[in-house]
Structure 1
Amino acid sequence: MKAIKLISSSLFLAGLTALALQSAYAADDDELSPQFKSGDDVSLTPGHPNHFAAFAPESPEMLARMPEIDPETGLHVSEVKPGLFYVTEGVYQSAFLVTDEGVIVFDAPPSFAHKLPDLIAEHAPGMTIRYLVYSHGHTDHIGGAGVFAGIKGLEVVAHEKVAESIAKSGRPGLLKPTRKYDEQYDVSLGGQIVEFTPASFHAEDADTIIYLPDRKFVIAVDTITPGEVPFMNFGATSDVGAYMTFFDRVLDYDFDHILSGHVSVLGNRDDVVMARDYAFDVRETAGRSMATFFNRFNSVFKAFEYKNANLAYRTAIESVRRDCAKEIIDSWSGKLSVVDVWADSHCQTVILYNIMH
């Protein structure tokens, strides 16, 4: 936990602070002149090297994949497989499965959960919502669950550790789980089976890979962002080492679509492979740069006249991060969107993980 807190605080500091001491490792005089540095503060000031316009726009390929949002409902709804509906407002995602015996709902993001009961009634008239499934315990994905509180006999399914977290937190609006599991678990409704496999790739307590075998549909929330590099700190994962094991594990499933909880795009196998290759490339690139970490630290500590070792350590981290991010941005621009927005964070996450491990 100490390592997790250090990673989070270091990322926060790095995001807020300009790299004032980068010239300690300048390759030439051009490095001393003002220029775009993706790890520095984003600026609204015209002419500033890190003016927001210096960042690449979202890729045309990503924009082309985004579904249309209905201007009246503020939602996109599509039936991706028979009886399986995917819902997004453009930032978060949910889904529901309609069977002959009722409906299963997956997650309830507070940004649009209040619209889900009417939406489900429209696509499954007369059907009862029988199950509400929590992918994990983070409020931004399940915080709207209270809209289903009045449904008699509703079963709320979650991992035991998620249930414990909810009970301890007392967060308003969350329904307490009524069905809990701590190992492989299945729910069957109307001839449809939903498989729950506990995992660890993001949340502090527990994650779950949810699989609908008949629909070849996987739900693994806060993992990838199809068409884009992940959010900072690889989706704000609490364990980057565990996160790196996710990709090959989920690729063992036979699936056509993956719902990852964020962005408006529903992913596929190619998206998982691309995200894996990106994450592994960051890990390898940061690892190569880390081979010179203590040489960098000793060099700059000497330049500081052996004063303020913390500042020297930070400078060495920033130097490794800068080299890693430059290589990653050069390699992945044009392949995944927003790489210049988050590459510095991803590199720093791996750097700090390497230092701790």
Structure 2
Amino acid sequence: MPANLPSPTGRRGFLKGAAGALAVPAAASLVGALAQPARADDNGLPDFAPIPAASVGPTPNADGYYVGRIAGNLYWVTDSYYQSMFLTTTRGVVLVDAPPTIGHNLLRAIDDVTRANGRPGKVTHLVYSHSHADHIGAAGLFGTDVIRVSHAATAGLLARAADPNRPQPTVTFRDKYQLKVGGETLQLAYHGPNHSPDNIFVYAPEYATLMLVDVLYPGWVPFKNLAVSQDIPDWIKAQSIAMDYPWQTFVGGHLGRLGVRADGTLQIQYMNDLEASTRSAIDSVDPSPYFAKYGAQGNSWAIFRTFLDAVAETAAAPVAAKYAGVLAAADVFTKDNAWTLLESLRIDAGVLGPFGVRP
């Protein structure tokens, strides 16, 4: 395993030695080890650590959804995979996102609430957090007369997608937009790219609630490859921007529970630990075996594959162990997150390791 690799060599000596065709069984065995789960059931599926009780949200009903009040006229819906939120107003319902996994249950959830509080149940406004189909792919359920609000970049991305399930927005903004409907207010803001080029912050000031999708994951480690985000430095920055809002309740768009401020602090700590561990692993994993074996074969991609995987595994191990039982799925995605952070450190921050300027 990576922890047992030879100690780092000087870059000049390493590059000189890498030109030789050395037999390095450790490199080949490492590739095999990285490809196999540590534990597997009879079907070959990996077994992962139990989910901490604190990471679990409310149990969905028989139809597969849970709807609950956040505060006042603000509610949220989850199917334990995705989340949406909505405001009931004197004029109708303002919905934020329409995840397809919840689908028609959004209509049922809204009907549950508005029948109980006597407010109009028609969705009059639909806010798109960003363009991704997994969060707004059920937007077509709400008819053609809904006012759809998004960042200006979302309109361009949806035009390219030409997806009938994601109708074009009717109102767009670039920096800030205050949506006032039937006595209720949402403050929409764009703080630059993060998970996607168009992802926005949706704040309900009266209820001290922030919705920001695919950035903070209350009770869980971030989704694979740092949420498959398109701008890793700004995705990391967005965590701190989120914490600058005076929210008390957080809607992250994923999984089964709402967030509190301690969740944001904990994820930032996780990311700080992961970055420190990744930087350390770049220095501690000896690149010589990978250059020697695969360089002799002329297989440049194999050098990158095996070395980057070894660094990611070395970086992930202590972080996954530290957060086991604290953040759900620490053993599922920490290596993938380390790999993505490693790539960002290389190409965004210039921490090039053995791929730096040749001596």
Q: Name the TM-score, length of structure 1 as normaliser.
A: 0.82
Q: Distance in 2 between matches of 1:137 and 1:336?
A: 28
Partner of 2:210: 218
Partner of 1:289: 281
**Partner SS state of residue 148, structure 2:** strand
Structure 1 position 120 matched with structure 2 position 100: no
Contact kept in structure 2, 1:38 and 1:340, CA below 8 Å: no
Cα deviations by residue, 1:68-125 (Å, 9 ceiling, x for unpaired): 2111x21101111011111011111111101223221111111223232343233224
What letter is aligned with 2:135? Answer: H
Q: Distance in 1 between matches of 2:88 and 2:333?
A: 38
Q: Distance in 1 between matches of 2:202 and 2:318?
A: 35
What letter is aligned with 1:123? Answer: V
Partner of 1:168: 160
Cα deviations by residue, 1:179-228 (Å, 9 ceiling, x for unpaired): 1011111111223221111132201x311001010010101011122111
Partner of 2:23: none
Structure 1 position 25 matched with structure 2 position 19: no
Structure 1 position 107 matched with structure 2 position 87: no
Partner of 2:346: 355
1:290 positional shift: 1.6
Partner of 1:40: 35
Q: Name the TM-score, length of structure 2 as normaliser.
A: 0.82
The equivalent position to 1:301 in structure 2, one of 283, 286, 291, is: 291
Partner of 2:71: 81
Partner of 1:134: 128
Partner of 2:143: 149
1:24 positional shift: 8.1
Q: Distance in 2 between matches of 1:317 and 1:324?
A: 10
Contact kept in structure 1, 2:139 and 2:165, CA below 8 Å: yes
**Partner SS state of residue 261, structure 1:** coil
Q: Distance in 2 between matches of 1:232 and 1:38?
A: 20
1:156 positional shift: 0.5
1:267 positional shift: 0.9
Please, which runs of 5 or more residues in structure 1 have no aligned partner?
A: 1-20
Change (3 A) 1:129 1:61: closer
Change (3 A) 1:115 1:46: closer
Contact kept in structure 2, 1:202 and 1:223, CA below 8 Å: yes
Change (3 A) 1:225 1:148: same
Partner of 1:62: 55
**Partner SS state of residue 320, structure 2:** helix
1:315 positional shift: 2.4
Partner of 2:351: none
Structure 1 position 52 matched with structure 2 position 42: no
Q: 1 or 2 for the larger relative contact order (CA 8 Å, sep ≥6)?
A: 2
Cα deviations by residue, 1:146-199 (Å, 9 ceiling, x for unpaired): 11115x4x2100111101111221112222211101111111122322111113
Using the aligned pairs only, state the percent identity: 25
> Alignment RMSD, CA only?
2.7
Equivalences, count: 322
What letter is aligned with 1:323? Answer: T
